[in-house]
Chain A
Amino acid sequence: MRRTIGGNGSDTTLATQAYLNSTSDPIIRDLILIGPPENPNALYLTNHEAPVLYRPYGLFQPAVMSRGGVEAKVGLDAQALAVTWSPGASAQASKTASTSTASPYQLAAQHFYDNWPLLILRAFMPTPGDADTLGCAEWFGGRIQNCKVARNKLIFNTKSYIDVLKQKVPSTMVEVTNTLASTAAVTLPAGDPSIPVFSCIRPSSATYIVADCVSPSAGKIYSGDLFAGGYMVFLSGPGATLAGAWSAIGQNGAWTDGDGNTHSEFVIYSPLPWPPTPGVDTFYVSTTAPINVGDEDYYGFPFVPNPTQAV
């Protein structure tokens, strides 16, 4: 299930799961935050009958509101969601030149809410109104595409944040394997201050590369298969024959020549168009990107919920 955070900031996922397992009539409410929390015009709304305090964000006031639904999907399909709100007391404000005192209708008509973030939290209440003990799970996050002013209500049409991943981007967009962007978005080996760069030597071929580390530590031999699953990208430079060519790395290790000198060797998955020129072609390498919680420097989602178990 989704992760729930209690009012004191603790992870209450297990307690929430136990609560849901123990009852067939759980009290679940929506808390909707429209706008940046630090903005005094941000709207804190709930469909609970009384005000709800969720300390990580603040006090949500009861409001006349409804929302559409979203589907749990894997992929980049951006979810669209409409939230409808009929302002009550706050709608009484008269037209004014100050955003701090303007009514929501006036602000919406002036496109004040366009592109504002919209966050929907699901509060699990062991007792009515208690959003502190078990807290909330983030249920939907997105940006308001437009806010439609209708009779006695505002309709916030929202697209999920994942929408940003579907945009067409220029070729210089930073991507891990976009060699045309000339951008090295690599995953560094642990402890290295900069991207490892190697210079090819004999007897490199189109699928087997022997090279010496140039930087950050000249001649450094990395541990075996440290770069397995990563990739190498050939650099431009005087005489370079393979600039922009790249391949995933299958194995790496140490190779000793006939003089007893140790060099680095790489076995790559995709054959290069031709063997690199020893002493001329250089390339940089990346270790594999962290994709699991246990991987070092992993900053992504802890896990993707199983759709059949997600709340």
Chain B
Amino acid sequence: MSLPVFPTLPGLTYTSLKAPAFKTLDEEGSNGYEVRLPQYTNPIWSWTLLFDFLHDFFWGSFTAVSELRTLMGFFTDQFGKAAAFLYTDPDDNYVGPALVAGTPNAPLAQLALVSDGAGNYYSPVQRTLDGVGYEDVTDLNGAIAVYLNGTLAAAGSGANEYTLEGPGLAIPGYSWLGMVLKWGPGAPSWAATHAYVVNAEIIDPAGHIQKATGAAWPALTPVALGYEIIDPAGHIQKITTAGTTGASIPTFNDTGGTTNDGTGGTMAVWTDQGSAGGSAGTSGSAIPAFNDTGGATPDGTGTLVWEDQGYYAGPAAPVTAQFHFYFRVRFDADSQDFEKFAGIGSSAGQPPAGQGGGYWTVGGSESQNGTGTLVLRTARPVPS
């Protein structure tokens, strides 16, 4: 459910108060020692706003809503302090830029990157005031742009893509009340009978990155009929006479002809199958048992061989982001004074009788009798 947004009105004036608040249980001994138990770590913000003026007359059209009625109506729409809404702090609503001169803007636009220990990575959407402490962001205002070590990442569930979750998420060792980016795997999963280009990467079931390569020529190795490799020129060579390869790589015929390999009665014969076209080969119908110790894993009956690249250690850090955000707030009181201080009528014709006119204030310089100020206070996400 999308929340309403607090209206932006021109009469908002100085001075405005903004106050972060925390709650701490404090036990003090007679000797002055204390134990203090923090009850939350994301602050409860409050804003005290003054509106010097709020017009309550029509601007040339009797269908436009006056500023006074916009704000007064918004207050009543929220049933006073009951319902939550979104507030754009004019001076504090943006994180970014993610990059400065092309390099990641850390730490001011940096997001943490943490693992749940099961191969999944997360980045909480947070903002920092001083580059030291971070505060969870519950509501984004528009899109978020995320960079992995300076490279723009896309939204999605694929490799190095992110999905936006929350507000509220917990993984072993961490929890956040705001939005969280969940990163996709470092590479796609293995697919059956799929043609892989050279250097294509997958992530195997153990979380290791495997890189696709073409089978290379083997020295002094018995080769069976039908065995295939990719020669240095990128051509597929297939054994048409089984035998044992020689000690040094032969000069392959890449024009459709044959190449003798080895010597004597065990000589093998390769036959050119044409260019591989940049393909490393096609995977088999069943997932192979991957070598996760830095070795190679043949796949299928063709030329495809996977080379272990090690355990996937997560997206490339640092993660930086740029985005606008809202504060989720409520009115702090069930009652709110609006004070009329001038009775000027319409500037463009008379409003229909009984539909206002004049200037109003909420705690502005003309205020005399109102209690003044409009106070907004942080609202946490909906509890369980």
CB of A53 within 8 A of CB of B41, answer no
Stretch binding the partner chain, chosen from B10-18, B171-179, B207-215, B278-286: B171-179
Q: Chain B's nearest CB lies how many Å from the CB of A226?
A: 49
Asked if B380 is at the interface (CB within 8 A of a chain A CB), the reply is: yes
Partner of B382, one of A7, A44, A88: A88
Q: Which of A24-32, A250-258, A260-268, A284-292 forms part of the interface with chain B?
A: A24-32
Is the C-beta of A90 less than 8 angstroms from some C-beta in chain B?
A: yes
Q: Which of B40, B172, B381, B383 has the most CB of A within 10 A?
A: B383
| Bound-state Cα–Cα, A90 to B382, Å | 10
Q: Is the CB of B173 within 8 A of A61?
A: no
Which interface residue of A24, A49, A50, A86 has the most chain B CB atoms within 10 A?
A50
Q: What is the distance, in angstroms, from A263's C-beta to the closest C-beta of chain B?
A: 63
Number of B interface residues, CB 8 Å? 27
B173 touches A50 (CB 8 A): no
B34 at interface, CB cutoff 8 A: yes
Inter-chain contacts of B34 with A (CB < 8 A): 24
Whether B63 sits at the interface, judged by CB under 8 Å, is no
- Judged by a CB distance under 8 angstroms, whether B31 is at the interface is no
**A114 interface residue, CB < 8 Å from B?**
no
Complex contact B176–A130 (CB within 8 A): no
A158 CB, min distance to chain B CBs, angstroms: 19
Task: Judge whether A129 and B384 touch: CB under 8 Å.
Answer: no
Out of A26, A45, A52, name the residue touching B175 (CB < 8 Å): A52
| Cβ B136 vs Cβ A45 within 8 A | no
The distance from the CB of A274 to the nearest CB of chain B, in whole angstroms, is 64
Q: Check if A51 sits within 8 Å of B168, measured CB to CB.
A: yes
| Set of chain A residues within 8 Å of B383, measured between Cβ atoms | 61-64, 86, 88-89
A264 to B122: give the CA distance in the assembly, Å: 71
Q: Is the CB of A61 within 8 A of B177?
A: no
Query: Is B173's CB under 8 angstroms from A49's CB?
Result: no
Q: Contacts A25-B37, A26-B37 given; indicate if A49 touches B172 (C-beta within 8 A).
A: no
Q: Which of B162-176 contact A (CB under 8 A)?
A: 168-176
A80-109 residues with Cβ-Cβ distance < 8 A to B are: 86-90
Asked if B289 lies at the interface with its beta carbon under 8 angstroms from chain A, I say no
A50 lies within 8 A of B136 (CB): yes
A53 — nearest CB in chain B belongs to which residue?
Answer: B170
Tell me whether A90 and B176 are in contact (CB under 8 A): no
B78 within 8 A of A: no
Is the pair B40, A130 in contact by a Cβ cutoff of 8 Å?
A: no
* Contact (Cβ within 8 A) A49 B42: yes
Asked if A50 contacts B177 (CB within 8 A), the reply is: yes
Asked if B172 contacts A129 (CB within 8 A), the reply is no
Interface size class of A (residues with CB under 8 A): 20 to 34
Q: How far is the CA of A131 from the CA of B175 in the complex (A)?
A: 9
Q: Which of B170, B174, B384 contacts A89 (CB 8 A)?
A: B384
Are the C-beta atoms of B37 and A49 separated by less than 8 Å?
no
Is B35 on the interface with A (CB-CB < 8 A)? yes
When the two chains form their complex, are residues A49 and B384 in contact, meaning their CB atoms are under 8 A apart? no
Quick check: A50 and B175 within 8 Å, CB to CB?
yes
- Cα–Cα distance between A49 and B42 once the two chains are bound (Å): 8
Compute how far the CA of A27 lies from the CA of B381 in the bound complex, rounded to whole angstroms.
Answer: 21
A26-56 CB contact bits vs B (8 Å, 1 = yes)?
A: 1110000000000000011101111111010
> Do the beta carbons of B384 and A50 come within 8 Å of each other?
no
**Is B36 an interface residue, CB under 8 A from the partner?**
yes
B242 to chain A, nearest CB (A): 54
Taken together as a complex, chains A and B put the C-alpha atoms of A269 and B353 apart, in Å, by 105
Contact (Cβ within 8 A) A129 B37: no
Residues of B contacting A61 with CB < 8 Å?
A: 168, 383-384
The answer to whether B264 has its CB under 8 Å from any CB of chain A is no
- Which of A44, A51, A90, A132 has the most chain B CB atoms closer than 10 A to its own CB? A51
Which of B169, B173, B175, B382 lies in contact with A48, CB distance below 8 A?
Answer: B175
A89 touches B382 (CB 8 A): yes
Interface flag for B352 (CB, 8 Å): no
CA distance A26 to B24 in the complex (A): 11
Tell whether B38 is near chain A: CB-to-CB under 8 Å. Answer: yes
| A199 touches B (CB below 8 Å) | no
B157 to chain A, nearest CB (A): 22
Query: Is A179 located at the chain interface by the 8 A CB criterion?
Result: no
Q: Tell whether A132 pairs with B172 under 8 Å between CB atoms, given A49-B40, A49-B380, A88-B382.
A: yes
CB nearest to A133 among chain B residues: B173
Task: Give the residues in chain A near B35, CB-CB below 8 Å.
Answer: 24-26
A59 at the interface (CB under 8 A from B): yes
Q: How far is the CA of A41 from the CA of B64 in the complex (A)?
A: 50
A45 and B384 contacting across the interface, CB-CB below 8 Å: yes
Give 20 new A-B contacts, CB below 8 A, not counting A7-B172, A50-B175, A53-B175.
A24-B33, A24-B36, A25-B24, A25-B35, A25-B36, A26-B37, A27-B38, A43-B384, A45-B384, A51-B168, A51-B170, A51-B177, A53-B172, A55-B172, A62-B380, A62-B384, A63-B384, A88-B384, A130-B174, A130-B175
26 cross-chain CB contacts under 8 A: A7-B172, A24-B35, A25-B37, A27-B38, A28-B37, A49-B41, A49-B380, A50-B176, A51-B168, A51-B170, A51-B177, A55-B172, A61-B168, A61-B383, A62-B177, A62-B380, A62-B384, A63-B384, A64-B383, A89-B382, A127-B173, A128-B41, A129-B170, A129-B175, A132-B172, A133-B173
Chain A residues near B (Cβ < 8 Å): 7, 24-28, 43-45, 47-53, 55, 59, 61-64, 86-90, 127-133
10 tightest A-B contacts by CB? A129-B175, A61-B384, A88-B383, A50-B177, A51-B170, A53-B170, A128-B41, A132-B173, A50-B175, A132-B172
